[in-house]
Amino acid sequence: MKKSDSSDDQTELSFASLVPQDDELEEIEAHSIKKSAKGVSDSFSDWFLDYASYVILERAVPHIDDGTKPVQRRLLHSMWEMEDGRYNKVANIIGNTMKYHPHGDQSIGDALVQMGQRNLLIDTQGNWGNTLTGDRAAASRYIEARLSKFALEVAFNPKTTTWALSYDGRNKEPVTLPMKFPLSLAHGVEGIAVGLACKILPHNFIELIDGSIAVLQGEETNILPDFQTGGVADFSDYNRGLRGGRIRVRAVIEKRTKNSLVIKEIPFSTTTSSLIDSILAANDKGKIKILKLEDNTAENVEIIVYLPSGSDAQQMIEALYVFTDCEVSVAPNACVIHKDKPEFLSVDELLKRSTLQTKGLLKRELEIELGELNEKWHFASLEKIFIENRIYRDIEEAETWEEVIRVIDVGLEPFKEMFLREITEDDIVALTEIRIKRISKFNSFKADEQIKKLEEAIKQVKHHLRHLTKYAIAYFERLKEKFGKGRERKTRIESFTKVVASKVAIANETLYVNRKEGFAGIGMKKDEEVCKCSTLDDIVVIRRDGTMLITRVSAKAFVGKDILYINVLSPDTMDQLVYNMVYRDGKNGKSYAKRFFMGGFTRDREYTLSKGTPGSRILYFTVLTKEKVDVLNIQLKPAPRLRKTQFEFDFSQLTIKGRGSQGNVVTAHAIKSATRKERLQVEVKEENESE
């Protein structure tokens, strides 16, 4: 019985050891959740990297070799495949391209329209939209396209193309096109990938060719963008197209009549529709004042802006640059795919690499041509020897094919040293395929002429290979002569200063102040009116205690109680206005007088115009131009032993200093009043003193 009990206890212990307890269950569950979370995290990390790499390499960024994105490359290859000299429906082109590009017809169609609007590689027919107005192209079934003669000359050569299988393995497509032109710089490229973006601005066709020639000649280049929409651009901060650079592009605006302006060219990245919308929005917000707009754009841009009577046309032009899309800022970011990874390069480096690649492609084409010419010369010489020496007659008695080959080979033996390569069995087989009719009509003189022409061509190709740089320069010069007509620069290069918004803002608001409560703003229409202002203006507030605040105009803001002076602070007149004041230092201190310029400032920071002693108070304050000063009548409070209680104080004896100066002592006695006696015109005395 005891033995039995012992056995049962052991059995229970063994089962208990297999079943996890509560604390063990919690630990197992936590470990399982942690492991699962880690697995999901790792999977997301891998998937994200795969997706990011795919978008960068296969969608958004052009390849350095041909300057095209995959969809553009496949489109061009598809059009070359369909090329027969006639136009093809865009719908058909899109359909044919879909066997190479797995992302649907919409992306293919959009890419084709964008390339067609560049008017370089694609010859278009029909309504392809308008880059000036932003109008879209007609449906793909209504418009047609074919490769331009320029594209056929620079973008295709099956002999120098590296091929790969398409996404479904049914077709072959080019890894990159053998592009003999800096296409990415001519077209411009814009794409947003995962974690990076590409924005290569378009450049001028002729200037790119001139730049390529300069590269071949070992000269430095400095190419600048050129836009189809024209305009005026400041490239001072272009930074050769690298990240961190920036250009400013302006519309061309001219005065048409006394009260109207005409916009003739628009900035890059805008359309007439978006430009008009920005002008109307600025007018609605009160930043500019116009009567109406007329859009007469057709082949060329013409937007007429009508102004209110009495408007300053030049000021309105500057206001349009500040408050509308008549001036835009563009940030370039030249990024390309090189060796299966993105690389950031300057546009001049891109031009250099493209030019050297073109030179390399020209070399390969010459080498291929030389090989083909050598083969033609080889067989033409073989044929001439075979027929002239009647070697074909020696095979009449041969009974087997092997014997035929051997007999011809023996007949050619004396002549083998004159050939550039060994005579192979394939060469001999080709000789046996010559027809009897051709042998009977063989003309030795014509054969010699043909061989001579081949030798001259071989000599010329070898000359080009020895002088490859000159050959490449001549190639670019031919491109310029053949295709450069009508491709002159459209965007003017100028350097212009940035217009300060506050200087051209229209003062169509009214500033109000509540001196008792200490509030000021443009929304306090029931309070004291101060002056006209704009929403971009700064206001200066000076209080009785000698403190000053400068802040931006707002609807309503607390600026401090006991306001002595409030006004708009105009940047144009800051260096012309002089602040004149007499203040008491503390409750019972001496009185000081000072003349000062406003100087630099930080908004919403309080400044002390007195010595800063608690209880200080401004006794007299005025703002005048440099040439004018006040003469004050100072009245002192009666005091024991004080005989003279009145005297004059002339501000002209003070030098104009910075606002941080303490000033000159006027009197050590308490001043009862300080009033202006007269105002004088004097010579200006200034002293540069930091705050």
Do residues 456 and 519 share a domain?
Answer: no
Average pLDDT along the chain: 87
- The pLDDT-based confidence of 19 (bands split at 50, 70, 90) is very low
Task: Confirm whether 24 is domain-assigned.
Answer: no
Out of 129-138, 144-153, 276-285, 682-691, which region has the weakest mean confidence (pLDDT)? 682-691
The pLDDT value given to residue 473? 96
Indicate whether 27 belongs to any domain.
no
- Examine the pLDDT at 270 and tell me if it is beyond 70: yes
- Greater confidence (493 vs 440) lies with 493
Q: What is the CATH number of the domain that holds 408?
A: 1.10.268
- Convert 492-528 into a string of H (helix), E (strand) and C (coil): EECCCCCCCHHHHCCCCEEEEEECCCCEEECCCCCCE
Closest CA to 230 of 489, 10, 538, 453: 489
Instruction: Evaluate whether residue 23 is within a structural domain.
Output: no
Q: Evaluate whether residue 302 is within a structural domain.
A: yes
pLDDT tens sequence across 69-123: 999 999 999 999 999 999 999 999 999 999 999 888 999 999 999 999 999 999 9
Residues 587 and 669 in one domain: yes
Residue 285: Cβ within 10 Å count: 10
Distance of CA 461 to the CA centre of its chain: 42
Please choose, from the candidates 278, 183, 263, 199, the residue with its C-alpha nearest in 3D space to the C-alpha of residue 229.
Answer: 263
Kindly report the length of the chain.
Answer: 691
> How many angstroms separate the CA atoms of 273 and 106, rounded?
24
Instruction: Go through 135-168 and write b for each residue having 16 or more CB atoms within 10 A of its CB, e for each that does not.
Output: eebeebeebbbbbbebbebbbbbeebeeeeeeee
Sign of the CA dihedral with 196 first, then 202, 205, and 209 last = negative
Lowest mean per-residue pLDDT among 18-32, 196-210, 363-377, 628-642? 18-32
The predicted pLDDT at position 38 comes to: 52
Confidence of residue 40 (pLDDT cuts 50, 70, 90): low
Among 186-190, 392-396, 636-640, the range scoring the smallest mean pLDDT is 392-396
Tell me which of 415 and 225 has the higher pLDDT. Answer: 225
Give tens-digit pLDDT for 484-517.
Answer: 999 999 999 998 876 666 566 667 788 999 998 8
The predicted-structure confidence for 586-614, as pLDDT tens digits, reads as follows 998 999 999 999 888 888 899 999 998 99
Within this chain, do residues 558 and 625 fall inside the same structural domain, yes or no?
Answer: yes
Do 78 and 172 lie in one domain? The reply is yes
With respect to residue 351, please indicate whether it lies within any of the assigned structural domains.
no
* pLDDT value of position 9: 42
Q: How confident is the model at residue 16 (pLDDT cuts 50, 70, 90)?
A: very low
Would you state the pLDDT for residue 15? 35
Task: Please say which residue of 274, 303, 330 terminates a domain.
Answer: 330
Quick one: 254 and 380 in the same domain? no
Per-residue confidence (pLDDT) for residue 57, from 0 to 100: 72
Domain that holds residue 655: 501-681
Residues 508 and 643 in one domain: yes
Q: Residue 581: is its pLDDT beyond 80?
A: yes
Summarised one tens digit per residue, pLDDT across range 357-373 is 999 999 999 999 999 99
The share of the chain scoring above pLDDT 90, in percent, equals 60
Residues 530 and 619 in one domain: yes
Q: What pLDDT does residue 395 have?
A: 81
Taking alpha carbons only, the member of 159, 156, 160 closest to residue 68 is 156
Across residues 659-665, what is the average pLDDT? Answer: 91
What is the pLDDT confidence band of residue 17, given thresholds at 50, 70 and 90?
very low
Q: Which residues form the catalytic set?
A: 142
pTM given for the model: 0.74
14, pLDDT greater than 50: no
Clarify whether residues 162 and 115 are in a common domain: yes
CATH number at residue 145: 3.90.199.10
Q: How many whole angstroms separate alpha carbon 691 and alpha carbon 548? A: 14
Domain match, 314 and 377 both: no
DSSP at 269: T
pLDDT digits (tens, 9 = 90+) for 288-322: 889 999 999 988 999 999 998 888 888 899 889 98
- Check whether residue 505 and residue 652 sit in a common domain: yes
In a domain? residue 47? no
Question: Is 431 found in the same domain as 524?
Answer: no
> Given 157, 177, 197, which residue is the final one in a domain?
177
Q: Is residue 620 part of a domain?
A: yes
Domain count within the chain:
4
Checking if the pLDDT of 328 tops 90, the result is: yes
Task: Choose one of 177, 209, 237: the last residue of a domain.
Answer: 177
Q: Tokens standing for 455?
A: 């030798």
Same domain, 655 and 594: yes
